[in-house]
Structure 1
Amino acid sequence: MLQLTRLFKIISAVARYRLDNLIDVERLPFFGRLFIYLLPWRYFIKNDAPRAVRLRKSLEALGPIFIKFGQILSTRRDLLPDDVANELAKLQDQVEPFPAEQAVAIIEKELGTPVGELFARFDHEPMASASIAQVHSAKLHSGEEVVAKVIRPGIEKVIRKDIRLMYVFSRVLITVVREAKRLRPIEVVRDYEKTILDELDLLREAANTSQLRRNFHNSEELFIPQVHWDYCRKSVMVMERIYGLPVSDIESLKAAGTDMKKLAARGVEIFFTQVFRDRFFHADMHPGNIFVDISNPAEPKYIGIDCGIVGTMEPEDQYYLACNLLAFFKRDYRKVAQLHVDSGWVPADTAVGEFEAAIRTVCEPIFERPLKDISFGHVMVRLFQVARRFEMEVQPQLVLLEKTLLNVEGLGRQLYPELDLWETAQPFLEKWMNDQVSPCGIGRSIKDNAPDWLLSAPQVARQAIDGVRQLHGHQQKLMEMQEKSERQAGRMKGLGIALVAGAVALVAAPELVEQLNWQAVTMASIGLWFLARK
């Protein structure tokens, strides 16, 4: 019954915001056009707002799970038109808080201790409330100020029901709209399902937070709060409370005398450090998750929270990404195309010349503008859009990277509109590439990998010995088969000689033919044949 109620609410939102108008009816097959024309609201509900605005408002009307879906969908700029992606990026995850009594009950159930014993103070008024969880401030008995993040009660059941409905709508969309396959709706829903279900596990977020904090220990650029592991469970996470200005509060930052140019540049440096030094990056760096420590306005420091979504890079992807970016901004489109093939991002049989021409056609107009006016993130989006036409496989780590880069660049230009991201990125990438091929870099790589090589050496040696033994065994079998073949050949030769001799004897003494017992001759011949086969 609840599922039917939810379905009715979704259909009502589709009708109210006329989402059927997002479909080009004339390009549908006959039954698709008939289905759209039979929708009853087409003839009495009007909504002339831009399509992207209508889509955003419909998701807001459907509640927090669909809002979260819209936020994640906005990152798939390789699939969406620019106006839709930009509008969905405006979705704000501000949700009505749930009662503090429920938060207390979840904490006590997860930690097995009354809140009064766990904390010296627990504030029932939530600091923030989002679609997945809400946050309460508290104080430990040791005197440390902390925040407690609590998963919304019953949210997993709601999420799974909505995801089932999303899969249904995706399959209907593919059936009705011929071009829907290009948008890969089922794949998008599957990505969303994995992302949002991962966010329900606060132990995962706590582990990500600890890793990021360790990576930037004593950093002058980024501070990550400490996790209090004794108070962490799947539905509860307690960490150090942070104090800073929201990065989106630009007026307050300027009023405090913050060096905005340095703040913007440091955001770019933090991003590239995470990707190319650590291969581990915060992939949800929207303004709500970033604060600024302005205790020293001349040296502003970022504060990062909410590490539920992170990206990782394999060394091979990291190398190819750096090479791609450097080649791209040098307009070496041939190398960009070849790197995509070499990395396996596009099929091995891709015509490199055609791919190069497609990249040049899309990107050359971009470079007619000054570098400082070029959006680095949008260049990556356009590059991935071109690659998708050449059957580029979806690379989850690259999608997260693209999303994060767009966030970082957009935020940086809000802080300092003259930000030239490439001016900051190019020296970093070139230095990183030089480090990889320098003697020190090679030595560091050997040092880092030596323990693994040593540990795997006995196994490799055993495999080599087993291979040699197997080869020797095969050689022995081949020799035995050759000897057997030679014996058979010898027997056949002897039989041939005997038959020839018998034939000669019969010719020489024809009178014996009449005396031969033909049955005996036949049996003798069969016996000789079997003897020859042994």
Structure 2
Amino acid sequence: MNPTTRTLRARYRRILRFAALHLIQVWWFELFLPRIGLARLAAVGRSRRMRRLAQRFHVLAVDLGGLMIKVGQFLSSRLDVLPPEITKELEGLQDEVSPVAFSAIQTAAEKELGVPLEQAFAYVDPTPLAAASLGQAHRAAPSAQDAELAGFAAAVVKIQRPGIGEIVDVDLAALRRVSRWLSRIRLVSNRVDAPALVEEFAATSMEEIDYLHEAANAERFAANFAEDPRVSVPDVMWERTTRRVLTLQDVTAIKINDVERLKAAGIDPAEVATQFANVMFDQIFVHGFFHADPHPGNIFVTPTPSEGNPLAEAGQSPHWHLTFIDFGMMGEIPETLRDGLRRVFIAAASRDGKGLVDAIQEVGVLLPSADTAELERAMTQLFARFGGMGFAELKEVDPREFRDFAKEFGDLVRSLPFQLPENFLLMLRTVSLISGVCSTLDSRFNLWDAIEPYAEQLIRDQRRPAVQDAAQQAVATVATALRLPGRLSEAVDGIEAGRIAVRTPDLDRRITALERVGRRIISAVLFTGLLVTGTLLRSDDSLVGSALIAASLIPLLHAVLPSRRGGN
């Protein structure tokens, strides 16, 4: 076995070992203890356990690099399925790792480009401009011929880390196996389609390591803003771009959150905040194709010379524009999602809690196993409190009230099989990043002010479809009303004939289950003792420790598996 294969197998086993150990911990506290009547004990320290789990994963991700940092970033956005203690801890996970030696990067680039690096470029700076888990960027000077063809003489070349393809394959294989484990746990499978989540993440990851896809994203984004002086995008040097090497125009300027440099250049940070928000919401609401990672490292403020710029000379445009880079993570709102969101909007506008839940199900964010009664009640409460308010009134509501309601609503959502489409989550994450950047530039920035014009336009654009949907809903209501007497008659006949039974608590079954609890508690205590003893001994005597851990499975099976005589 060669060293590379050995390293990849060790990586695979390490990911699985981490997942297995923490799944056992979660199973013990969240499933087993409540099952034997110790739910209150399990609740003690739950927040601390969740934070520690996320912290340990944070350490693992930074140590392994590769796709695991992307996994952490992906999990930090899954507010719909993970508790806030985990998402909060992981949201600070940055894709910054130690750089690869330039000699290894050079070899990888030459293999991909098919020519020596000194032939492909006049110069490449061996010191990386940025290093990430999947690749790293270096400043470069194109050859005279390439510079003439491309129209620029300064470039940034992005090169994938050597062997990253194999690492991604191993990481995805490990994640798929963990998702299969999760799908066998009923508490998880009833709430989350773990294999689907992994496949969604896998598709995004495979796109992100394909630099041809990123280059195409850059050109599509540039086309959307071709006539807009507020935005610029680096040109792609296609002659020096492949799936693993991407060469772009060097457009480095003032980082959008560098307030001191902006002021030194005579640029008002508050104006930048307003313009940035407008540009981002244009992407989301107008183009339906948006930059999904607009953190400060990916946006520059570029001063624009007044000479030759007719808009600037006429005072119609600021003397600067926004420059976007890194188009590996892009979000899109397809027509199906737009149509679903339109139905959600109509239900929300009419303060129809049940209609809103039905629309959410149509969008596909609730799994078929969802019991929506509690969600409908929560939506009704939401509309009762905030439904009649305009933007101006909402801005006056105490933020603590929003936070309290959001916490209660978040707890409810996480109790349901609620799984938001990835593009919808990307949109929410993007809005959060927009708010963060704008607040840094202007402490008085109010997100409502930026969104309000788009909301008003959405209302105007949706009037006609809203009327159509309202008409369809009225027809459906009339049809239901006409069928109701017949259905009631059938139900009465069914009760009289004994075909419809009214469920009552099955006392005998419950008493039998309670009688077995005592025996299961003894098994649970024995399992815990063997497992803990084996774990402690394993560091000194791995054979004895492993034997005890294996032996603990026998009382474990008795404690958790249903009896064949009547089940639970």
- Give the TM-score band, short-chain normalised: 0.5 to 0.7
Name the counterpart of 1:208. 217
- TM-score scaled to structure 1, two decimals? 0.67
**Greater mean alpha carbon deviation, residues 403-412 or residues 313-322:** 313-322
Is 1:321 equivalent to 2:341 in the alignment? yes
In the superposition, relative to structure 1, how do residues 105 and 179 fare at CA in structure 2: closer, same or farther (>3 Å)?
A: closer
Query: Cα deviation per residue 1:81-138 (whole Å; 9 max; x = unaligned)?
Result: 1221122110111112222233333333333333333323222222111111111111
Which aligned pairs between 1:57-456 and structure 2 lie closer than 5 A?
Answer: 57-140=59-142, 141=144, 142=147, 144-175=153-184, 178-179=187-188, 182-254=191-263, 256-294=265-303, 300-321=320-341, 324=344, 328=348, 333=353, 336-337=356-357, 339-340=359-360, 343=363, 355-361=375-381, 370=395, 394-435=420-461
Q: For residues 134 and 184 of structure 1, do their structure 2 counterparts lie closer, same or farther at Cα, with a shift above 3 Å needed?
A: same
Is the 1:206–1:227 contact (alpha carbons within 8 Å) kept by the matching residues of 2?
yes
Q: Assess, with a 3 A threshold, how the Cα gap between structure 1 residues 418 and 81 changes in structure 2: closer, same or farther.
A: farther
Higher relative contact order (CA 8 A, sep 6+): 2
- Matching residue's letter, 2:321: K
What is the SS of the residue equivalent to 1:120?
strand
In structure 2, distance between residues paired with 1:215 and 1:59: 36
Counterpart of 1:301, as a letter, is H
**Is 2:31 the counterpart of 1:6?**
no
Larger radius of gyration: 1
What is the CA–CA distance in structure 2 between the aligned matches of 1:341 and 1:180, rounded to whole Å? 17
Distance 1:377 1:247 in 2: 29
- Superposition TM-score, scaled by structure 2 size: 0.63
Give the letter aligned to residue 25 of structure 1.
Answer: W
When the two chains are superposed, the root-mean-square deviation of aligned CA atoms in Å is: 4.2
Match of 1:23 in 2: 26
Give the letter for the 2:269 counterpart: M
Distance 1:401 1:313 in 2: 9
Shift in alpha-carbon separation, 1:431–1:229, aligned structure 2, 3 A = same
1:171 and 1:344, CA in 2 relative to 1: closer, same or farther beyond 3 A?
A: closer
CA distance 1:301–1:359, change in 2 (3 Å): farther
* In 2: Cα distance, 1:96 partner to 1:344 partner: 40
Instruction: Note closer, same or farther for the CA distance 1:320–1:88 as it changes in structure 2 (3 Å cut).
Output: same
Distance of aligned partners of 1:254 and 1:171 in 2 relative to their CA distance in 1, 3 Å threshold: farther
C-alpha contact (below 8 Å) 2:364/2:421 kept by paired residues: no
> Matched residues in 1 for 2:265 and 2:216: separation?
34
Alignment correspondent of 2:42? none
Once the two structures are TM-superposed, the CA of residue 54 in structure 1 deviates from its matched residue by: 3.5
In 2, distance between residues paired with 1:186 and 1:343? 19
Question: How many residues are treated as equivalent by the alignment?
Answer: 424
Aligned equivalent of 2:503: none
Tell me the secondary structure at the aligned position of residue 193 of structure 1: helix
Task: Indicate the SS of the match to 2:89.
Answer: helix
SS across alignment from 2:136: strand
Measure, in 2, the Cα distance between the counterparts of 1:168 and 1:207.
Answer: 32
User: More deviation in 196-205 or 303-312?
Assistant: 303-312
Pick closer, same or farther for the CA change 1:373–1:125 going to 2, 3 Å.
farther
CA distance in 2, matches of 1:145, 1:273: 30
- Any idea what the Cα deviations from partners look like across 1:65-89, whole Å, max 9, x if unmatched? 2112101111111111122112211
CA distance in 2 between counterparts of 1:303 and 1:215 reads 14
Distance 1:434 1:47, change over 3 A: closer
SS at 1:293 equivalent: strand
* Contact persistence 2:80–2:420 (CA under 8 A): no
Question: Whole-Å Cα distance in 2 between the matches of residues 217 and 330 of structure 1?
Answer: 39
**Measured at CA, do residues 339 and 427 of structure 1 come closer, stay the same or move farther in structure 2, by a change above 3 Å?**
farther
SS of the counterpart of 1:370?
A: helix
Distance 2:420 2:7 in 1: 35
Worse-matched range after superposition: 274-283 or 246-255: 246-255
AA aligned opposite 1:306: D
Q: Provide Cα deviations, 1:447-469, integer angstroms capped at 9, x if missing partner.
A: xxxxxxxxxxxxxxxxxxxxxxx
> Percent sequence identity over matched residues?
28
Q: How far apart, in 2, do the equivalents of 1:299 and 1:365 lie?
A: 45
